[in-house]
A and B are shown apart, each in its own frame.
Chain A
Amino acid sequence: MYKKVPRMTKTMRVFHWINVFSVLTAVITGLYIANPYYQALIAEPAAHKYVMAYNRFFHFIAALLLDIVSVAVAYLYFRSTFDKPIKKLIPNRENLIEFKEVLLNLLTLNRRKNFDSSHSDSFNVVWFTILHLLLVWMLFTGFYLYVQGLESGLSSIGKWWPALLHIVTDWVGWLLGGQAGVRWWHHFSMWIILSWVVFHIYYQVWRTIFWKEGDIAIVFGGYKFKKVK
């Protein structure tokens, strides 16, 4: 007998897939911006084809979606009526034990399972938080690079926007050694995020296979199933 456990609301799932497509888009376009890896073999004058411009456009749109979703997710960490992830981040006894148990479950290849797997566990929440911190890092380094192109101090939405970006991101340049350094970190952090993604997908699939609770369905249908004795 299995019980249906709701794990992700519709909003959470929409956010998840926006994140997926934004990260993918940002990586594909970002690699092109860093070092254009395909040629624009279109027999048109330069004025009519906009290959680099569209790559940059979609890169910024992806970044924008990620940033907006991150703000919403940060809010939901604290104020969600469904499940507040922040509760699992507080390093109290209960959470530390759960974190250790989930980690041991993974390391012992599911030989040991001393925690309640029906709700979002502390280990996974920590893992998600790492991604959100990485995204914040990308936001700062990315906007630092972006505002270099708005050096005139004007933008289509007013002077306040570049001014705000300068106030918020100028310290990044100081910290990482100017545009070259910031670009390096922005690029390198992409690889860290990709590694994060690889483990994330692996772990969810692994759970589905070994826990036999249909974990992979969470992100599509919003439910998983828990055996009731």
Chain B
Amino acid sequence: MDFFRRDYLREMFTKPTNLIDTNKGEEYYRNLYRKAKERLDWLKFQKPVRENDLKFEEYISNWDISRRDFFKWVSMMTATLMLPPSFEPLVAEAAEVMNRIPVIWINIQDCDGNTEALIRSSAPTVDELILDYLSIEYQETLMAAAGDQAEKCLEDAVNKYKGQYLLFVEGSIPVKMEYAFTTGRHPETGVQRVRRLAKDAKAVIAVGACASFGGVPAAYPNPTGAVGVMDVVNGVPVVNIPACPANPVNIVGVIMHYILTGNLPELDSLKRPKFAFGYRIHDNCERRAHFDAGEFVEEWGDEGAKNNFCLYKMGCKGPFTFNNCSIVRYNDGTNWPIGVGRGCIGCSEPDFWDKYATERPLAASNIRPPALKGVESTVDKVGLTILTATAIGIGIHAISSAIAGKKESLNKEE
């Protein structure tokens, strides 16, 4: 009997269970490589949006980024985009021709957190450099121009690059109380602004939880009626890069993918790029073993916390949340929420503030999801009430039956 043979056992116990279909076949990648190569050659032939700016090599040396660091970044980006290593030279080239794509970046109802996430790193990173090197024609937080000059920059960019620019939107858009957000000397509401700029854009990229699904401004009771970009823009492709803040790696990844292929990456049902939002946090969590083992942190700072136990009981929403934080982490791979010992709050999921941002599992959370009109923890309370009501009903019936039965037998005896 060969049941206990090593090969047989190994085959039996190594089933592919948690693999994403990253290998689309040699044929597919050969075609993609050829297409990307052609596109990059064509882009190289184009003039940079601003010819007087520094060249890419100059940027690299000015920013003190070593050749080795750059190639480390290239490998990381290629892997993030789920492309084979043979694409690395193309990704490096794509970084170089990034200044051929005009970008307009606007902020609506938000805290600028996504911009901050990009620029506030400990040392100049390649992601940050890409942001600087990209021809960002308009970015309220970073641009030097102000007031009328800034407005003129925007108008010029829109007119000059009609139908070519990528529109990045940061922040939710108030639709119920439109005047909650207005900008400029010639006031324009958020809805008007996004619609006007999206009309002439090649694609709209919603950066952060607010721009994607409304985020924190859309939390209950949502006084301004905040919604995501995809709810107000029609006829232009929209990509959502949620999370609070959106991971710079994913922002750059989407741009990279666009430069490489001229297309937007494959999206899921919530318009999030699959390369970044294909897995749950939970699927690649470093503390997953403790989840399966039933080892949970019971309160902050206990023995479990000191031993890096699973944070599920402290309200980690990793099992509900699709994102790649557990792989790429934040701040150049320094750390991420679970790594610092607190749970995920599901910031890349719709309505996360109402539904996920608590420090207990959903079944024990005292929060009120607007869609359900009920306190989470009352599930158990209402359930127990129904159960008690049933039991009481039964009790009454049983007692009255018993009394009635006694009477009946008495009658019979009589």
Real binding pair:
yes
Residues of A within 8 A of B (CB): 34-36, 39-40, 46-53, 55, 106, 109-111, 148-149, 151-156, 159, 170, 176-181, 183-184, 187-188, 190-192, 194-195, 198-199, 202, 206, 209-210
Docked complex Cα distance between A194 and B390 (Å) = 10
Which residues of A have CB within 8 Å of B371?
176-177, 181
User: By the criterion CB–CB under 8 Å, are B382 and A52 in contact?
Assistant: no
Docked complex Cα distance between A184 and B313 (Å) = 17
Instruction: Contacts A181-B369, A187-B379, A206-B401 given; indicate if A52 touches B390 (C-beta within 8 A).
Output: no
Q: Does B312 count as interface, using CB distance less than 8 angstroms?
A: yes
Docked complex Cα distance between A79 and B400 (Å) = 40
Q: Does B233 count as interface, using CB distance less than 8 angstroms?
A: no
Q: Does B410 count as interface, using CB distance less than 8 angstroms?
A: no
Instruction: Contacts A51-B293, A188-B382 given; indicate if A109 touches B397 (C-beta within 8 A).
Output: yes
Docked complex Cα distance between A47 and B292 (Å) = 9
Docked complex Cα distance between A35 and B376 (Å) = 13
Pick from A55, A183, A198: contact of B394, CB below 8 A: A198
Residues of B within 8 A of A (CB): 15-21, 269, 278-280, 282-283, 289-296, 298, 310, 312-313, 319-320, 322, 349-351, 355-356, 360-364, 369, 371-372, 374, 376, 379-380, 382-384, 386-387, 390-391, 394, 397-398, 400-401, 404-405
User: By the criterion CB–CB under 8 Å, are B292 and A46 in contact?
Assistant: yes
Docked complex Cα distance between A116 and B24 (Å) = 66
Q: Nearest chain-A residue to B288 (Cβ)?
A: A46
- Offer 10 A-B interface pairs, CB within 8 angstroms, sorted by A: A47-B289, A50-B292, A51-B293, A52-B293, A55-B294, A111-B404, A177-B369, A184-B376, A190-B383, A198-B394
Q: Nearest chain-A residue to B18 (Cβ)?
A: A152
User: By the criterion CB–CB under 8 Å, are A187 and B349 in contact?
Assistant: no
User: By the criterion CB–CB under 8 Å, are B356 and A195 in contact?
Assistant: no
Docked complex Cα distance between A212 and B295 (Å) = 52
Pick from B16, B282, B290: contact of A154, CB below 8 A: B16
Docked complex Cα distance between A87 and B334 (Å) = 67
Pick from A51, A183, A209, A210: contact of B362, CB below 8 A: A183
User: By the criterion CB–CB under 8 Å, are A35 and B313 in contact?
Assistant: yes
